[in-house]
Amino acid sequence: MSEPDQPATVPGAPRAHVVLLSLGGTIFMRQDESGRRAAPDASTGADLARTMIDGVAVSHEEIDNVGSPSVRPAHLARVLARAREAVDAGAAGVVLTHGTDTLEESAFLLNRRWDREAPLVLTGAMRPANAPGADGPANVRDAVRTAAAPAARGLGVLAVFDALVHLADRVSKTSSRSIDAFASEPSGPVALVGEEDLRLLYRPLERTGMMPCPLPDELPRVVTLEASIGEDLALLDGLAPGVLDGLVVAGVGMGHVAARAVPRVAALVEAGVPVVIATRVATGGTSDRHYDYPGSEVDLIAHGAVMAGALPAQKARLLLQVLLADGADPARIREEFAAFAY
């Protein structure tokens, strides 16, 4: 869909308009006098959402104020609707503040449905608003700069932290404490934040796994299990038909499970339940050809499982849910995951 032309700037006028949406998280929290027990604080929004940031006019709208583990698909459907309205009305881009715990998942899910050239930029904070060295204000400034940046157009959904810009499909939270908490595997950040534009480090490939149907309030039931020593996926035994719509296994190594788990994977696939194998290892992803022994990736593929490639288990789960919600058959599921293969 084409977007309205941006009005020409005049002396003293804002160079762009960005809408700041908020869902809560640490960036909208304050800690107590002991420096602990951070909790949501409604007054924080006024501190963050200034009306002008680096020559960009900013307007703030609250979607909700929840901890990120409580974000639901229905929240993100509201974000999508409001973000589209904003850019169709002339906003250069949209910023969404979000808790960091599940930010990478929301970014990935939003990226399946974001169909505008204008960027949708997620950011947050690792330190509460009143903590020494709070990182929220700088992250919001950088996210606004990114949302207004010409070079950000066409990049889809982005995550901005610590002056780095990450693609939604690559970004992961890598630290539970550091303000430098996000990284992109295997590509690294796509850009550095500048005052009026981005410094692109590379040009990304076309996005895959787009979801043409509306984002449902609830996604299909896909469970994630982790492989480890002594784990044979016995929990799958005796499941009633229809309990699971899909399964993701966070395997070891390049996507491996115990030999005794393979018949259970095969039984699910035979019953029409798709099984995706990711890896619990932080970098390197899964393979489709390196090992051939009982429980290896070659063995699992032969029994009908799909490899997640570069996607960690949490994103593999979301992609499978999106595909199932869109009525994808096994061939399409395999094709969409192949786009993330190493």
Catalytic residues: 26
Dist CA 335 CA 158 (whole Å)? 24
With both helix axes pointing from N to C terminus, report the angle between 313-325 and 103-111 in degrees, rounded to the nearest 10.
30
Q: Which helix (H) or strand (E) holds 316?
A: helix 313-325
| Residue 194 DSSP SS3 | coil
Q: Could you tell me the maximum CA-CA distance found in the chain, to the nearest angstrom? A: 71
First to last CA, the chain: 32
Q: Which distant-in-sequence residues (6+ apart) come within 8 Å of 6 by Cβ? A: 16, 90, 92
Strand 120-123 and strand 93-97: the pairing is: parallel
